[in-house]
Amino acid sequence: MPQTKSQIKNIKIILRNRNNNRKYKLAVKQAIKKYLVSTKDISHNKNQSDIIICKNNLSSVYKKIDKAVNKNVLHKNTASRKKARLAKLLSQLVL
């Protein structure tokens, strides 16, 4: 247990930041999952409407990842790696 007032305050700040970071990470994970489900629809049948939905989902994933980078939840290289892998998946399915 912390002994000083500054350490008690520091623990409160750490818990607050951890909760905020979890929100951003969870939002990114949920967006990625939604995108991956939409890519499975494309793999079964390549309708133009399914491709548009998938691209919209990819755009929302990009927004969530960029927001997490701006809030210093994700490192910029991690974000670019995730975005590149997701974009590569879509390009392989569309071809």
Specify the pLDDT at position 53: 92
- Domains with residue ranges and CATH for the chain: 5-94 (1.20.58.110)
| Longest CA–CA separation in the chain, Å | 63
Whether pLDDT at 93 is above 90 = no
Of 15-24, 29-38, 40-49, 72-81, the range with the lowest mean pLDDT is 40-49
Q: For 30-69, how does the pLDDT look when each residue is reduced to its tens digit (9 = 90+)?
A: 999 999 999 998 877 778 888 899 999 999 999 999 999 9
Q: State the pLDDT at residue 82.
A: 97
